Amino acid sequence: MTSRISSETTKKTDLLALTLPQLQQWLKEQGEPSFRAKQIYNWLYTHLVTDFAEMTSLSQALRSRLAQQACIGPIVVRRELRSKDDRTRKILLELPDGKLVESVLMLYPPLGESGARATVCVSSQAGCAFGCTFCATGQMGFDRHLSAGEIVAQVLYFARELRKAPWTAVGLPNSKPIDHITNIVLMGMGEPLHNYDNVLRALHILNSADGFNLGARHMTVSTVGLVPAIRKLSQEPLQVNLAISLHAPTDELRGQTMPVNRKYPLAELLAACKDYIVTTGRQVTFEYVLLAGVNDTPTHAHQLGDLLAPLAQFAHVNCIPVNATAAGYRPPAPDAMRTFRAILFKHGVSSSIRAERGDDIAAACGQLRTRFGKL
Ligand code: SF4
């Protein structure tokens, strides 16, 4: 375990929080030529360095000045857990002010023609203001927004790990090892669209062709359904994937587990999704955590099918059997899930089941932090 971040470090400029134009501007203010920004970006995002001393194409004097005035994502990994099959790795990170957040790396073996995938599930806030009853983070309350640099740092941590030790699925020794991050999903702690500016800035930084160069189509923003922010997102030049945490097919039921539904009821949310689809021409994924006996009956499936049928092929439902949390919910039996999906299919709505991940390491958001806090 590394020691805490020094107060000296917290006063420095975090270079991971800067877009390329912002880094150019910052260098200009330091009296440096702006072309240095691309060199630094290359060291940060292609070579994945963590120390200015490694930036050997810069003069020794500049490296020393950078070390005095700037830092590279000052986060400390307090704990790392790996699932028994090593397909899920979870870290608990301490931020400069002592707040704790979690990130998860999910590794997928090659499937058919597609190669292996490495997806980072990123946190966007310390805690969360939205209080969904099935979510461990929702029980903690809201601490603060994460900076763009703190969001980027989570992705870079796992990128460096994979670079150092590429992953091959256990039992598939001949498959090509994967050594880089292929996808990111903003589905960790917090509501990403509540932290709109920092999240969008982090996505732009990770998308930069001069840096990490991750395509927008490999990025997914998952929201509880903040209607004005969904409308704003549809106007962004960066066309990321949108996922809506739906979890219930009626206002009455959704309001019981998701307090946000009182502010943005389903009719308003679905109207925003429809406009998003019209503007972007892109599919929207609806996340649906299945809670046995609560929202998983055939009646619920018919209600969900009726709700989403108007979006036709532009709606896809991701069924997620709940991870056990303190709230005491149970996942449905496999038969109930099959029936649920068959009914959606009859309504013309496509669906898939998201495989449960890392139960043995408490992979659902907020669970590691909750347990850590009790140690
Ligand atoms: S599910 Fe998402 S929005 Fe709801 S409380 Fe948890 S982190 Fe917040």
**Closest atom, ligand 1, to C-alpha of 187:** 2
Q: What pLDDT, on a 0 to 100 scale, did the predictor assign at position 372?
A: 44
* 356 — pLDDT class (breaks 50, 70, 90): low
The reported pLDDT for the residue numbered 139 is 86
Quick: pLDDT tens for 50-88.
999 999 999 999 999 999 999 999 899 999 999 988 899
Ligand 1 pocket member 331 (CB < 6 A): no
pLDDT at 177 over 60: yes
Residue 1: the pLDDT is: 43
pLDDT band per the 50, 70, 90 thresholds, residue 4: low
Per the prediction, the chain carries an average pLDDT of 91
pLDDT surpasses 60 at 358: no
Pocket residue to mutate for ligand 1, from 132, 142, 367, most atoms within 8 A of Cβ: 132
Residue 327 reports pLDDT greater than 70: no
- Does 323 contact ligand 1 (Cβ within 6 A)? no
Tell which atom from ligand 1 comes closest to the C-alpha of 258: 4
Q: Domain 78-374 in CATH: superfamily?
A: Aldolase class I (3.20.20.70)
Task: Determine if ligand 1 sits within 6 Å of the CB of residue 128.
Answer: yes
Could you list the beta-strand ranges (E) of 232-337. Answer: 241-245, 284-290, 315-321
How large is the average pLDDT for residues 268-272? 98
| 138 — pLDDT class (breaks 50, 70, 90) | confident
Using one digit for the tens of pLDDT, what is the confidence trace for 210-222? 999 999 999 999 9
Catalytic (active site) residue 102: yes
Average pLDDT value for residue range 198-205: 98
Q: Which CATH number fits domain 7-71: 1.10.150.530, 3.40.980.10, 1.20.1090.10, 3.30.70.100?
A: 1.10.150.530
pLDDT band at 373 (very low <50, low <70, confident <90, very high): very low
CA distance 104 to 126: 15
Specify the pairing of strand 183-186 against strand 117-121: parallel
Check if 71 is active-site.
no
Q: Output the six-digit token pair for 123.
A: 């946190």
Task: Write down the pLDDT at residue 371.
Answer: 44
* 81-112 residue pLDDT tens: 999 888 999 999 999 999 999 999 999 998 87
Binned at pLDDT 50, 70 and 90, residue 326 comes out as very low
User: Which residues make up the CATH 3.20.20.70 domain(s) of the chain?
Assistant: 78-374
Mean pLDDT of 324-334: 75
The verdict on the CB of residue 244 being under 6 Å from ligand 1 is no
More confident residue, 38 or 4: 38
Q: Which residues are bridge partners to 318 per DSSP?
A: 287, 352
CA of 190 to the centre of ligand 1 (A): 6
- Centroid of ligand 1 to alpha carbon of 138 (angstroms): 5
Ligand 1 near 132 CB (within 6 A): yes
Q: Where are the domain boundaries for CATH 1.10.150.530 in the chain?
A: 7-71
Query: Span 308-323, mean pLDDT?
Result: 92
Q: Tell me: the pLDDT tens digits for 225-267?
A: 999 999 999 999 999 999 999 999 999 999 998 999 999 999 9
Query: How far from 222 is each of 21, 78, 286, 317, CA to CA, in Å?
Result: 27, 26, 9, 13
Alpha carbons 283 and 268: distance in angstroms, whole number:
18
Q: What is the per-residue pLDDT for 324?
A: 65
Query: Residue 271: is its pLDDT beyond 70?
Result: yes
Contact 342, 336 (CB under 8 A): no
CA distance 173 to 168: 6
Mean pLDDT, range 351-360, rounded to an integer: 72
Given the CA of residue 191, which atom of ligand 1 is nearest to it? 3
